[in-house]
Amino acid sequence: MAMCSKRPARMVASFPGNEPQRFVANYRKAGGEIALEYIDAERHAGHSPDLSKTGDMFERMAVFVHRHIKVV
């Protein structure tokens, strides 16, 4: 049985943003179209956000989906 005492190399993030921003950047780099939207709302564990602060986000989401989904 072989044992290794080395710890795995620590990954250093070269991307300055957070995880959603990194995902969006990589998705766009791969040729995808994506939008990242933030809702200015308080967060409470176990509770839904106050959707009254979303403005026209759902309308913009529907337009985005309609543009990319082929309906037959």
Considering only residues 4 and 18, tell me which one the structure prediction assigns the higher pLDDT.
18
Q: Cα(54)–Cα(42) distance, rounded to whole angstroms?
A: 12
Q: Cα(61)–Cα(6) distance, rounded to whole angstroms?
A: 47
Q: What is the pLDDT of residues 9-64, one digit of tens each?
A: 555 567 777 899 999 999 999 999 988 888 777 778 888 877 887 888 889 889 98
Q: Cα(24)–Cα(32) distance, rounded to whole angstroms?
A: 9
Confidence of residue 7 (pLDDT cuts 50, 70, 90): low
Q: Which residues contact 28 (CB under 8 A, 6 or more apart)?
A: 34
Contact 24, 15 (CB under 8 A): no
Confidence of residue 2 (pLDDT cuts 50, 70, 90): very low
Taking CA 14 as the corner, what is the angle to CA 12 and CA 19, rounded to the nearest 5 degrees?
90
**For position 41, what pLDDT does the model report?**
76
